Structure 1
Amino acid sequence: MTHIRRHVPLLMRDGVRLSANVHFPDEGQGSAWPVIFATNPYSKDSWFGPRTTPHIERFTAAGYAVAVVDLRGSGGSEGDKADAFERVEAHDVYDSILAIANEEWSDGNIVAWGLSYGGITALKAGASAPAPLRAVVAIEGSTDPYEYEVARNGSVGLAMITAEWSTLMLGLLALPSDNPWLSDEELRRRIENLRPWHDAWLQHPYRDAYWQGREVDPRSITVPTLIFTGWRDTNVVGAWHDFERLNGPKRIVCGPWAHGMPEDQSEEPVDSVAMAIDWFDQHVKGLVTPLSAHPKVSAYIMGADKWRFSNAETQYTYSDESQFMLGDGTLLTPGVSETKRLEVAFDATVGTSSGFGFAAEPGNRRHDQQRSVVFTSPPVEEELDLVARPSLDLQLSAPDSDVDIVANLYDLAPDGTATFVSRAFRRLSNLPPYTGNSRVDESGTRPLHVAIDFDPVNFRLHEGHQIQLTLSAADFPERWPNVNGAGYEVLVGGETPSLLRLRSSDFSTEICDQHRLPLANLRGENSLVKEFQWLKVSQELDSSEVRIAGSRMSIGATLGDEPIQLSHFYEISAEPKEPSLTVLTTNTLVRAGVGARTRTVSASCRVTPQASSTSLSVTGPNFEDPLIHQYLLNLEDQDAQEMG
């Protein structure tokens, strides 16, 4: 166990003090070290710190001090955290790095590292460019919280963003800290100013003034930057977008992973901590390391179960393009044929087979297929390596201006097994750049051309396999079903047919057997907390309602050696033809400490397309009486009320 100095105050430019835990290498290695800086709102003492103890200890064993800083308004820091991705975070990241560089235990060389929200702040560190910053490692983060985190493709998230994350964060942020210099008055004021993050997002579904300044330009990042992402992660588009635009030394590793640490993945887990240490050693200590000669891109080929390596500046380079014309249930070589209109009926429950959130990878597609329009190609005659972003050029009839176009690609094996490849989404009332603009012909007299890109792929389609495309009008539960409940017609055949475009490349010159990524041999061992998750999807074919229930539990100890328990439950339900009846309910309980030092937070949320209601209760030795707050947001008239 490394030596820890807890609750080190860092002074920001506006006088707010942020709280840092500093983990030091073993005594005797030196009095000043290069420092790994990590900051997020997940509590360095109660949740993030205990969960990442094994990783931090490996960093300190490599000769780095690690400073984990609570963002303002979270954990032991002063200030408010009533919102996510606040503009002030860029200033706080910059000021924190300068403050750490001036500490006696720092040698003045700082690097930034982080996962998810911490990956976002690490990239903000790179963009703010404080002089002591030497390198960045960002895992599952991005530079644009609107487009790549909260409202991907212009639609606010449901399962991952709201059910699994925003509602849980309310409980974490309200937990009183054991920081001795954080006053009870400051804690009370902070809790009183807390608001559910998703309330603001539901009020600002478009890229309006609320979102401006929360993003950073990846082209401004010139420090060496290493990015980790996964083909099953929901923000893989943002990771590749950022990698393309970085203006310094860069590298990206993209595995077959969902959201989370590469070490914790079920398939091809990679030792990202070893690679981060290697990256820092190169750019802080000037060492020639085992990975120094690795190419810029390490990308796992889904379907081939191997890695490819290249020095390409982009994922979107391809050598060939195949076009398939959408027919009546078929994908064919383009040619002249009779024009037909295929109805894509609205069903709010479609989407569960393409995976969602932290908890579920793609699964059984039977439910979705029966509620979608399906197109299948003939078997491919030779192996096809799909790369870049597949795309659709659709000719539609969509008289309603608020319609969702959802597409999924599958690899259909000869035995009937279907493997999810990629998804695409477009909300016609909020087209890029997502400012609420629409190009729909509401008279319905003219076909509407809609171009949609799928998420990027790196997928091998084997000889004899078929490509399968599904079209629907909902992506539940990853996104809120459109309350208009409108479908559309897709026009197939004719002189201007609807087309699927697939890009491919020859990987044979890029797969380099001499390169190896370090495989992980650590999956949460020695962490101070144990975590459990479960998920249940109820969707009987003869029943109208689809119900999804999920849970996350953590049991263990804080860095202050207090017992802590967190439980978070959520349930989402939807009716096929009644999107206005979609309901999310969550309950979160956090308890830390023993005896008179016990602090407890209870939070419950209920969100529908019409309203969001929240109840929050906080008890502990910091307050004579429980703090109880209730909030109600009427989304139909955008009226927010505090009820107590």
Structure 2
Amino acid sequence: MTVHVQEHIWIPLSDGTRLGARLWLPEDAEQSSVPAILEYIPYRKRDGTRGRDEPMHGYFASQGYAAIRVDMRGTGESDGHMADEYLKQEQDDALEVIDWISRQAWCSGNVGMMGKSWGGFNSLQVAARRPPALKAIITAYSTDNRYTDDIHYMGGLLLNDNLWWGTIMLAYQSRPLDPKIVGDVWREQWLERIDKLPFFPALWLEHQRYDDYWKHGSVCEDWSAIECPVLAIGAWADSYTNPVSRLLENLQVPRRGIIGPWGHIYPQDGVPGPAIGFLQEATRWWDQWLKGEETGVMDEPMLRAFVCDTIEPTGTRTTTEGRWVGEAEWSSPEITAKQFHLGADRRLGGNASQAAILQVRSPQSHGKAGGEWMATGCPGEHPTDQRLDNGGALVFETEILEQDLDVLGAPSVRLRVAADCPVAQISLRLNDVLPDGRVTRVSYQVFNLTHRDSHEEPEALEAGKFYDLAIKLNDCGYRFAKGHRVQLAIATAYWPMVWTSPYNATLSISVAESRLELPVRAPSHETKVRFDAPAHGPSTPMTQVDAGTVRRWTEQDHETGINTYITDGVGGLFGEGVIRFDEIDTQLSHSLRRELTIKDDDPLSAKYVLTQSYEMGRDGWRIKIESRTEMRSDKDKFYLAGELSASENGTLVKTRQWDERFDRDLI
């Protein structure tokens, strides 16, 4: 089917704001209206996501849909100002956009909404607002709870990616409007946008517990608000997998879930592979709910998940061995909890241990082998051999397995634990010990012990008092092979993934009351699942100007005691290098360096510095945005600083500076 692309259209809102959009239409849509698929995100449809948008939305248009990619208020060429993530204004605008789409001559009146990450979040949030024309959604790598499963906090602890992402947002939202679209007003509106730029990481650091700020946009607060069908996508190497299970368990609408081995990448391009024919699966979903055709999507298992075979503990990985399985319902009656008790002899066994107290105090740099919180397809981002971290942990192991052990779902750990200070954290790693001694991380969790009863109302610990905890690890799908061992590692830090607690804590574990529980899938339970090979629409014309580089390394200074963790992406933040979109003659280059330092015996020595450069433009119109952000803390406060400069054709035109501090809230 011939597809027509409209490079830019305006969508008018009731307050006079205009949102910019790209539109893909089947050739006869003006004469014979079709359903529409909306993707609504802040990442610039003209140049930011063009390489990904073209083959995806072009494919949907070739299947008889109007596909529309809309930039949110204050982003791309859209009018206005974007003050934060997931505001009510963002949802209100989406309601107007969906209504506008439904009334166009090329639209049948039925609209679907989809997205990955931010677009997956707001697909859920907008569905909860129940616009009449919205008939179904696809949400990929998103969450129902903005506090527990997003890039800011994990287990009540501050993720260091809060600063990373906030710094990236400074560059993203400082990018100029394209004069070829908006004309001479581009410069005035660009400078105004920078003047109003919020200091993003500070917005999120201000809210260190699950308060009303995070509850807004968390659809878990009212599952019944969503009344349209939901297809939820997750991935084991990504950071947004746990919500898939919760969506399947709690929504009451037609729903299905798919979890693959990938990182934060749409499944048709999924890395680590195998990628799947996700665009065909999405089309089946849309055909069912937007066209009213019976496609069999509701005959599929409620959850289709990839169970990984043994994963080599290497930082760079492009493929994953394993198989697809299906569960007719979720939670599945075919999955049962298998208990492994922690032993005084550091064994994981079937029987409760004799009474014993084991202690652990980890080096503050513990976590070097943890990889990135969110894999994006870059070199070196996956967890490496866990033996590097095990030396600073309390480690328990099973005997050698006599048969394969398949795990699907959320492992959990029940602990009776005491700390010697009022604020402490714990990190838990579920590992696979290979026959040659190498150790692969299968799942993990970090947890702030002051949040033991509630993320809303944390309470300080009483030194020496034992508390009973039940901590869920991240969902996983994995086969512990015959001849391997299951391992649980317990530590008191997980740097550089999470910020340190203010004390150098020692934890005491009462092993007799402590155990690991694994969600074990019956070996005889097999449901065959298959996907088509990946399909794509035509790619946008682009030129690779420079391949760029991505490097990661750690250093330890044996004189000063300082440990340094560095990632350095040059040319392309996610490994894409320097590219030029040929149709719009626009070149993009994004470089960012992260440097995290800490001393093993001093949690208050932690420091995080990011330097960033974003360049874009064409002959006669060259823009450069540079920034530096820094974070440190003492026992009572967090300190955040930042500076940004913007240049046009080599001339500095705007600067911003920030210097903020926040009380530590039991974190």
TM-score, with structure 2 as normaliser:
0.87
CA distance in 2, matches of 1:218, 1:195: 31
Q: Cα distance, 1:27 vs. partner?
A: 5.6
CA spacing shift, 1:21–1:244, aligned 2, 3 Å: same
**For 1:312, which of 329, 332, 354 is the aligned residue?**
329
Contact map agreement 2:553 2:566 (CA 8 A) in 1: yes
Alignment-derived partner of residue 603 in structure 2: 579
Contact map agreement 2:12 2:18 (CA 8 A) in 1: yes
Alignment-derived partner of residue 661 in structure 2: 634
**For 2:619, which of 595, 611, 617 is the aligned residue?**
595
CA distance in 2, matches of 1:603, 1:48: 22
* Residue 225, structure 1, aligned to residue 249, structure 2: no
Moved more, 499-508 or 105-114: 499-508
Q: CA offsets, 1:373-430, max 9 Å, x none? A: 1111112333222233222221222131211111101111222232221112210123
Alignment-derived partner of residue 166 in structure 1: 166
Alignment-derived partner of residue 281 in structure 2: 275
**For 2:156, which of 135, 154, 157 is the aligned residue?**
154
Contact map agreement 1:136 1:224 (CA 8 A) in 2: yes
* Residue 188, structure 1, aligned to residue 191, structure 2: yes
CA distance in 2, matches of 1:205, 1:60: 43
The DSSP-based 3-state class of the residue aligned with 1:53 is helix
CA distance in 2, matches of 1:129, 1:22: 24
Contact map agreement 2:646 2:654 (CA 8 A) in 1: yes
CA distance in 2, matches of 1:315, 1:87: 36
Alignment-derived partner of residue 518 in structure 1: 532
Q: CA offsets, 1:593-637, max 9 Å, x none? A: 22333333222222223422222222349x996011111112359
Contact map agreement 2:20 2:77 (CA 8 A) in 1: yes
Contact map agreement 1:301 1:307 (CA 8 A) in 2: yes
Moved more, 18-27 or 244-253: 18-27
The DSSP-based 3-state class of the residue aligned with 1:598 is strand
Contact map agreement 1:126 1:221 (CA 8 A) in 2: yes
Q: Cα distance, 1:507 vs. partner?
A: 4.5
Alignment-derived partner of residue 317 in structure 2: none
Contact map agreement 2:336 2:520 (CA 8 A) in 1: yes
CA distance in 1, matches of 2:537, 2:239: 22
CA spacing shift, 1:424–1:594, aligned 2, 3 Å: closer
Alignment-derived partner of residue 346 in structure 1: 362
Provide structure 1 residue ranges, at least 5 long, that are not aligned to the other structure.
Answer: 639-644
* Residue 450, structure 1, aligned to residue 469, structure 2: yes
Q: Cα distance, 1:244 vs. partner?
A: 1.9
CA spacing shift, 1:461–1:524, aligned 2, 3 Å: farther
Q: CA offsets, 1:11-49, max 9 Å, x none? A: 334443222222222467845332110011111112112
Q: How many percent of aligned residue pairs carry the same amino acid?
A: 22
CA spacing shift, 1:204–1:463, aligned 2, 3 Å: same
**For 1:566, which of 589, 606, 617 is the aligned residue?**
589
Contact map agreement 1:412 1:467 (CA 8 A) in 2: yes
The DSSP-based 3-state class of the residue aligned with 2:276 is coil
Residues 373-522 of structure 1: matches in 2 within 5 Å? 373-431=394-452, 433-438=454-459, 440-442=461-463, 444=464, 446-493=465-512, 497-509=513-525, 511-513=526-528, 515-520=529-534
Alignment-derived partner of residue 300 in structure 1: 306
Contact map agreement 1:73 1:81 (CA 8 A) in 2: yes
Provide structure 2 residue ranges, at least 5 long, that are not aligned to the other structure.
Answer: 310-320
Q: CA offsets, 1:305-360, max 9 Å, x none? A: 11111221336862343232332322233245242x32211322112323323341
Amino acid at match of 1:50: G
Amino acid at match of 1:591: E
The DSSP-based 3-state class of the residue aligned with 1:167 is helix
CA spacing shift, 1:486–1:462, aligned 2, 3 Å: same
CA distance in 2, matches of 1:540, 1:523: 48
Q: CA offsets, 1:60-88, max 9 Å, x none? A: 11121211111112111122223222232
CA spacing shift, 1:524–1:382, aligned 2, 3 Å: farther
Contact map agreement 1:331 1:377 (CA 8 A) in 2: yes
Contact map agreement 2:30 2:106 (CA 8 A) in 1: no
Moved more, 202-211 or 12-21: 12-21
Contact map agreement 1:29 1:63 (CA 8 A) in 2: no
Contact map agreement 2:202 2:660 (CA 8 A) in 1: yes
CA distance in 1, matches of 2:132, 2:543: 36
CA distance in 2, matches of 1:56, 1:175: 24
Moved more, 100-109 or 521-530: 521-530
Alignment-derived partner of residue 81 in structure 2: 80
Q: Cα distance, 1:110 vs. partner?
A: 0.8
Aligned residues: 627
Contact map agreement 1:409 1:422 (CA 8 A) in 2: yes
Q: Cα distance, 1:255 vs. partner?
A: 0.9
Alignment-derived partner of residue 645 in structure 2: 617
CA distance in 2, matches of 1:512, 1:636: 52
Q: CA offsets, 1:215-263, max 9 Å, x none? A: 2244322212111111222121122212322221111110112222222
The DSSP-based 3-state class of the residue aligned with 1:93 is helix
The DSSP-based 3-state class of the residue aligned with 2:620 is helix
The DSSP-based 3-state class of the residue aligned with 2:262 is coil
Contact map agreement 2:645 2:652 (CA 8 A) in 1: no
**For 2:566, which of 530, 548, 555 is the aligned residue?**
548
Alignment-derived partner of residue 642 in structure 1: none
Q: Cα distance, 1:173 vs. partner?
A: 0.9
Contact map agreement 1:380 1:466 (CA 8 A) in 2: yes
Q: Cα distance, 1:541 vs. partner?
A: 9.8
Q: Cα distance, 1:197 vs. partner?
A: 1.6
Amino acid at match of 1:231: W
Amino acid at match of 1:198: P
CA spacing shift, 1:414–1:596, aligned 2, 3 Å: closer
The DSSP-based 3-state class of the residue aligned with 2:644 is strand
TM-score, with structure 1 as normaliser:
0.90
Alignment-derived partner of residue 177 in structure 1: 177
CA spacing shift, 1:310–1:338, aligned 2, 3 Å: closer
Moved more, 584-593 or 421-430: 584-593
